[in-house]
Structure formats: C-alpha cells, structure tokens
Structure 1
Amino acid sequence: MEAAVSAIVGELLSRFISFIIKKHEKRACRLEEKLEKLQLLLLRVHTVVEEAEARYITNSRMLKQLKMLVDGMYRGYYLLDTFKYRPDVQEIKSDQVQVTNTSFPSFASPVKRFRTTASTTYSMLDINDLEGVLGNLETIIANMAEFVILLAGCKHMYRRPYDIYLYIDNFMFGRVVEKQQIISILLQDNPLGAPTILPIIGGYLVGKKTLVGHACHDRRVLSHFSSILHLNEDDIRTKDHKLSTDVRTLVVVEFFSDVDDDCWAKFRSAATSMGRGSKVIIMSRLQNIARLGTVKPIRLNTLSHEEYVYLFKALAFGSTNPDDYPQLAYIGLEFARLLHGLLLSANVIADMLRKNLNVQYWLLILKRYRKVVESNFYEFGEHPKLLVDKGHPVDVTRFASPNVHTSLRLMPSRGERSIVQKERSKVTFRDLIAGSSCTTTLPKEEFEHNGLLPVW
C-alpha cells in the first residue's frame, strides 16, 4: 500500500514539475517574442526621429508629435536594456559586488537591488511595463504616416554624423525639439519691427549654452544674420551697448543674476537701432528673467531618466557593442541610476570606463561613487545631483585614493565673474576618480569646476 501511495505521489510531483517547466518555457518564449517586437518597433521609430533631426521643422504641432516620438523611443530603449541585461539572464555572480546596508532612496544604492533581482524572474510589473511600452509605440507608429508625409516637405539641414557629437567638447545630446524651436524663431520675421527677444530658461548645467551654440552655428542661421554678438549682464548695465549697427544681428546674453528694468529698457532701446530682422536670445537659470522676453520662453529641464541612461551607455561604450559586454552593460545601467541625471560626472566617468572595459574596474568606480552619494546624504541630506542644482558644494573625498585624509569639496562655478583668481592645483577630475594622483598634488579642501569638466 505504501509503495503504491509513494508511486502516485511521485507521479503527481513529476507531472507538476513538468507543468511548471513547460509554463515557464512558454512564458519565456512569449517574452522573447515581445522583446523582438519591441526592437523592431524601436528601429522604425528611431529611423523617423533621425530623419526629423536632419530637417527644418517649423510647424509647432509637428514638433509636439516629434517630442512624443522621442520620449517613446527612449522609454522603449530603456525597457529593452532592462530586460536584455538583467543579471538573472546574464548569470552575473552576485558575489562580485559588496553591498552595504543603507536607508537611502533606491538610486543611492542600486547595487543592493542586484542581489534581489539576480535570483528572481521577471515580475508582473516588468511584463506590464513592457506591454504598455509596446502598446504606446504601436499607437505612435499607427499615427505616424501623416507626420512622415509632412516631414518629406521640410527642408534638409546640413548635419554631421550623429555619433561625432559624442566625442567633441560641448556635445549636444537630445534637445531636438528645443533646437528646432530656436531655429524657427530666429528665422522668422519680427512681427512688430523691434527685435524679438527669446528667453532660454533652465537649471544649472542642463545645457543652455550648448543648445544655443548649436542653434547659432546652424548654416541657415549663420547665413541669415550678418553678425552674432555675445554679451553678459555687465554689458547690459553699461551705457554704451555697442549695438549701433544697421545689419541684421543676433545678440546672445547670459544672465547670472537679475537685471534692473531701467537698464533693460535702455538696452532694448539701443537694440532697435540694429538692422531689420535682428533677434536677441537671453539665457538664465532664473525664472524671473523670462519676463524680459517678447515671445514664449523655451524651458530646459533635466534629461529624463530614460534619455540619461541612453546617453551614458553611448558615452561609456562608444563604438563598442554593449551586447558583447553584458555584465558591463548592466553595471552601466546601475551607474546611470546612481548618477541620477548628473551631467557633471557622466562625461568624465564614462570616458574612463570606455578606456577600461573590465568588470572589476567598473565595479570599483561604481563602489567609490556610491560612497560619494552616501557621504553627501549623511552630511547634507541630499544626492549630489540636487546639491549641484542648488549651487551647493559636493563632498568628493571618497573619489580620491584611500590614503587621502583631507576633505575635498567640489565647488560649483557661478560664471567667470565670480571665480576667485587663485593658484589652482593641476590635478584633474579623472586623476581624482582613478586615485592615480599623489596626495601632494590634490587640491586643498575646496576647488571649482566649470561646465562638464572641472577647473582646478
């Protein structure tokens, strides 16, 4: 009797295990089919986006549709990478990463999630996200036919290969819609005869000057204006604005602080002496500066997380295919989450990682930056990204070599006028991260940075 019961139990158990295996294989097959479908949809959308980047679009409704295409594309790429490079798929050993307990938000300790996801399958939330993105892309593509037809009627712009912007100073990533908006306004006729004043408002280091620089160097813009002047707020406060010219002129002004209305009124009066069709662009992180414009301001926000992940992966791998380094691709995703959209460090760190495609090296740099995030949470209560946005110093001591005992603070630059002229250390940010510099060459306590790369 016992033998019969044992045989029945064994048979039931065997069937149950077989059922579970078949169910898992079927689900994995459906998931693979969905990922292949997502990849094909992204190829179609990306093709249209690249074509749109190479044409002048003046229709505001088309620009809104382009914005939807771009957002959907980056969201799709982000989800595709999340599935492709999950550690349970790539069998990355969790003992390669040392995890410390922390109460910080998720981006402060992304590797902690490594060990929990490495031994689990995809959750229903992941599947729902995938189905949502697929549905969104299918809807976008279904409504894309009219956009493509109208796009064919837009003029071509001169454009260098896309990837060249990843390896030059002041590269511009994204901002396709904003650049098109600026160019469109610059090429329009002034409705009232007086110069059109376009405000560009955005937070610290979001790429205002880079965006305006690329728009001003467009071939049609260069041929449209006879002269391009670059001024600052001190020039606005002087009596002689040097705007007495009868040629069509583009004036670019950068504000670090607010300006008196009387001074601005005198500047506007002087600007009327410029040639017909002249324009003025004003840039600032101050929202109040938008009142000086004569048209609706263009506001620049921080890159979305999906855009930032795409950018960091492109910078970290360059011409190398991330699929050839799945472990590094996953670590790169964790890097992007930890950096939390901080452009200040992304370019420098990615440049270092690209030159050393070694798992242990990438994990070492990731561990150091995680300690930087933790130390800033303990001392200031915020992530370095939020501190940089506020112009607050950032503690970067943990980037340095372990034998460094001095406290190092990264001081955000507030423009050329505020930089204190003093002797600077010759150490570079790359040396600091790599820990390759001698302690005698490290800056003492505080140092300033300017743009994406620091000035020591």
Structure 2
Amino acid sequence: MGGLISTFSGVVGEKAADMIVSGAASPFISKFQMHQDLDVSLNMLEEQLLKLNAAFVEARQRRITNPKLLEWWAKLIEDSYRGDYYHRTIKHQNSLPGCEDTDSPTNRAAKRRRTIRTLLFGDEEMKNLYDLLTRLQGIDVRLFLQMVHAQPRRPMRRYLYMERERLFGRDKEIGQVMNFLLKPIQAGENNVSLLPIVGPWQRGKTSLALRCFYDSKVQDHFSLKSYIRIAQRDINFGYCCNLISKAIQKQHKLWETNYDDLGTLLAMLKQNLSKQRFLLVLDDVYNVDPMVWNDLWECLNCGEKGSKVIFVSNIFHYEMYYKDGHIGRYDNKIEWTADAEMPVMIDGLSEDDHLAFFYEHALGGADPDDYPMLKEMGREMAKKMNGSIWPVTMLGEILRDNLNDQFWSKFLQALTESRVKFRATPKGFDICLAIDVMCRLLPGRLLSKKGSVMEYSFG
C-alpha cells in the first residue's frame, strides 16, 4: 500500500513539476516564437501599408464632404504612419552591425545576446508591432473604398494638352514641321534646309519645336540632333559656334577637347558636321546680325544632304521674300543662303480653341455642361484674356480648386476691374495681371498700399 502511495505521489509530483515548468516557460517560448516570426510579420505589415496607401490615393481623387468618413480616413492615416514608423525602425535595427546572416563568432554572440534579452525582459516594440498589425488586418479596406467611390471625383490635374504626343490646337503646324523634317531628299536641293518658326511671345513656338524634335520618327531620321537655346540678345559668330559645339559635344561626345581658338573650333565643327545628317534647332533667337548669320550658315551648310535647321524666334512683324530668299525683322533683314521654307507662323489660338483650352484648365477635364453657371462665367473670362495662353495656365489652377459660383463670380469681377490688359506681350505682363487679379481676391495679403506690383509695373 505504501509503495502504491509512493508511486502515485511520484507521478503527481512529476506532473505538477511539468506543469510548473511549462507554465513558467510558456512566456519565454511565446517570446521566442514572436522573435522568430519577426520577418514574417514585417512582410505582412508592409503588405497592409501598401493596401492603405493605395486606398489613400483613391481617396485623394475624391471630393469628400462626409465628416464621419473624413474622421475614419484621419484615423487610418495615423495608423499608417505608426505602422510605417515600426517597419522602418525594426528594419533599421536588423541592418545594424551584428544582425547580418553571416556565421562569424561576433554575429553569433550578438544574436545570442538579443535572443536572451528578448526572452528575459520581452520586447515592447515588438509587442506594439504585433498589436498594430492585428489592428491593421482588421480594417475593412473594401468598405472604405466603397464609401470613397460614392463621393464625387475631383477635377483632373493632368491634361491631354500636356501629353508629349499631343499639342493643343496645333495639328496643322505640327504637320508643317514634320513634313519639313521627314520629306524625301530631292535632286538639286541644298545640303541643309531651313525652317523659321516665328510669332509673338508665349504662343507655343518652343512647345511646337520640342514636340517635333523628340518625335521618335525624327530621332531615327537624323544621325546627329541638337536643341540649342540661344537666349541672348546680342550674339556674335564665335559665341554661336562655341554654343553649338558644346551642345553637340555634350549630347553626342564627338570630341572632348575645348578649343579657345575660333579657327580651330570652326575647323573641328565643320569636320564633325560634314559626316552627319544633322538636325539643329536654334531656339529663343532675339536678334541676329546679318553678317553673323552668313558666317554661321556657311559653317552649318557643310552637313550631309537632308540636314535641317529650325530657327525659332519671337519675331512679331516680319516680311518674307521668297524670290530673294530674305526674311526681314523690322528694318534688319537677314539673308538666308539656303532654301528658306514657308515660315510656320504661331499666333494665338482661335476663339473656339482658346475657350476649349480655358475649360480644360479651369474645369480640369470636367464637362462644362455639368456647371452651367461656371460655363457662362468662363466664357466671359476667356474673352477678357484676349487669346493669351500664359494666364490661362496660371489662373486656371486657382479656378480649378474652387469650382463654385461665388468664387468664380468674384474672380470674374476682379478680372474685369483689373487695370492690366492681356495682350501679345512678354509673359511678365501676364504674370503681373495674374498677380493683380489675385491681389483683388486676397486683399491685404499681396497688395500693399504703395509700390505694389501693378503700380510699380504700370503706374
């Protein structure tokens, strides 16, 4: 009997000891498993953050007015920031020295120290990480997106006319330039042909030239391409040659030596151009002395047959003499020694095109018929802008962010009362007009009592 009791007591003691040991060890085992599953949890956290950020992108495209939905969104953003903090922090700790997956004694010792510290004292950051991960996994992202999609969409901020393959209202001009660049070589024509693109300020001459220059067909057609912005009022022959040679050298690395001597530079330029069918675009040409142009053209005319030069200038008053091959700017006439093509004249958009251009900016791609009051006020604003493109791009963003009748009415009133008038002038005038309108909309912030922008510029 005593032996039976002794055996029973031993079994009970062993079971009790096992329970005590397992109970005492369970927190350590749990912490060890938590430590081992860290990489898996970080990947899960990253996945949840990607889902939330994708939902936030959709939400930013909607005009949300529901206060409860906005409150929910704010809490989601806060949880997203906290999750991003833990993700970055723990990733950074794992990238510290001693955390690599190498099998060196130093790394093994560092891992043992971190594991023992985690088992004995726990890891508060890891516990918070798992709590946050559990919370993020419980978010119903689908429900949030359903509520977001029920809200009206914000106007677009990217427009068709900003795409490289389309230039608003310039299909005819694009056809002229592309036909000039890609037309077959004919017998008897000069090696190099010239096309002037002329017109007032801020009408899209540079945009047209860039659009055609970067066309894939044009890029494949010429072996040497260079787009050069002169942007200097008084230029000489040496300046032009140096500018062209540096641009070609930078883009195509044909030669690497800098030549201070003009004769050596000219010889090197001719040598490299003579081996190429090149396309050269000279942009922002304010004024060219006839002798400078003649010397420059003699240098450029050494290219292979089919080479092209595009001359972009803000010439406003001009005459073209096709028989003599002259183009005149005021009283200064430049003799083209090549066959000068019919110039591409860039003027303001037609009234209908300008109105459509205005609606795309001010309404952000929305249908004007959905905003009948804004449509009529927009028509009046477009008329007052007198076909000018630059102020539409500046003021359109303000109108686009305030699609309501009251704001547009005040805007139209400010535009009507402005002392500055839109016209074919440098963009500085249009900027001053835009500032004038904004000053009237924001009194006391931008407009001072004395020496204001519009008084300083036009007083």
Max Rg structure:
2
